[in-house]
Amino acid sequence: MAERKIGTVIRRRPVTLHGDATVQQACQEMHHHRIGAIMVTDANGRLEGIFTGRDAVRLLAEGRNPGHTKLNAVMTHNPEHMPPGGTALEALRLMQDGGFRHVPVVEHGRVVGVVSLLDFRAHEHDRLDEETGLWERIG
């Protein structure tokens, strides 16, 4: 079975905000769109960072005010990303190795999508599990 390319896994357009938006605005967008991550971009749509639900929880636990905290102060700067031609297995491997659940898809420097763990098929997760098990036995 041929591996799916990331470009075919993308299910919707990415939700983006600029780094000067507040965490509260980002959380409102995440709630409205029922998503777990906001892509933070510059005026030309170039990826600068990613803000996730985990970041929001950390910010609140630290007692910071989401209405006054800017995304560029708390986002993950220069996040790992993939081109649309990357494979589903490569994206899953990147997520597993990095300990995150979202990967921005970037083409020519611009964000064209985002994929999350839930976007992949069971057999793709199974294949990653098999690969991981093989490396554990070898190592």
Output the pTM of the full model.
0.84
3-state secondary structure the chain: CCCCEHHHHCCCCCCEECCCCEHHHHHHHHHHHCCCEEEEECCCCEEEEEEEHHHHHHHHHCCCCCCCCEHHHHCEECCCCECCCCEHHHHHHHHHHHCCCEEEEEECCEEEEEEEHHHCCHHHHHHHHHHHHHHHHHC
On the question of pLDDT at 33 being above 80, the answer is yes
Instruction: Provide the pLDDT for residue 11.
Output: 80
Going by pLDDT thresholds of 50, 70 and 90, the confidence category of residue 84 is: very high
Instruction: Provide the pLDDT for residue 130.
Output: 67
- Rounded Cα gap, residues 75 and 95, in angstroms: 17
On the question of pLDDT at 123 being above 60, the answer is no
- 35-51 burial code (b ≥16 CB/10 A, e <16): bbbbbbbeeeeebbbbb
Instruction: Provide the pLDDT for residue 122.
Output: 59
Instruction: Provide the pLDDT for residue 9.
Output: 84
Q: Average pLDDT in the 15-23 region?
A: 97
On the question of pLDDT at 129 being above 70, the answer is no
**Per-residue pLDDT tens over the stretch 68-81:** 999 999 999 999 99
Going by pLDDT thresholds of 50, 70 and 90, the confidence category of residue 112 is: very high
On the question of pLDDT at 86 being above 80, the answer is yes
The rounded mean pLDDT for the chain is: 88
